[in-house]
Amino acid sequence: MADEGTGSNGRGESLAMRLKFRVMPRERQLFAVLRQIVANVQEGLHLLNHLLADSTEFGVEARRLRDLEHRGDELTHHLVRQLDSTFVTPVDRGDMYALAAGLDDVLDLADEVADVIVLDRIDSITAEAKQLGEILVEIGQHYP
């Protein structure tokens, strides 16, 4: 039975401790999901670079990239749900929405490139496209 005077729940946890664990993890969860999104984008950019640089199995690589894009969509939706259910966010809510949407767009476009390669049956990638793949990987490494 809870002790009304101290706010203890009978297990030695005060009301303040219980509230802390309800409020603090939500903020950490937002950043954890954002890190997962960034890691997924980085993996997608590496995969796109591999597809452009030296892949001979465009269809297989494109399917793997599509899977990463779907995973990115799931993570983005999860982040949005977390934002919608968080009263106070550690960073401006609009900025977090914009960042999540921008990162999702990166994978959407990478997936689109892979689709064009497969659907148009492109069998040779230009040196310029290969260089762009390398540049995208380098940019992706600068994400936190």
The strand pairing partners of 3, in sequence order, are: 8
pLDDT band (50, 70, 90) for residue 131: very high
Give the Cα separation of 131 and 48 in Å (integer). Answer: 12
Instruction: Say whether pLDDT at 110 is over 60.
Output: yes
CATH of domain 25-140: 1.20.58.220
Instruction: Say whether pLDDT at 75 is over 50.
Output: yes
Q: Give residue-wise pLDDT tens across range 80-105.
A: 998 888 888 888 889 999 999 999 99
**Tell me, what's the pLDDT at 136?**
95
Mean pLDDT, the chain, as a whole number? Answer: 84
Inter-residue contact 47 to 65 (CB < 8 Å): yes
- For CA atoms 74, 75, 77, 81, the dihedral sign is positive
| Helix, strand or coil, per DSSP, at residue 54 | helix
Domains of the chain: which residue ranges? 25-140
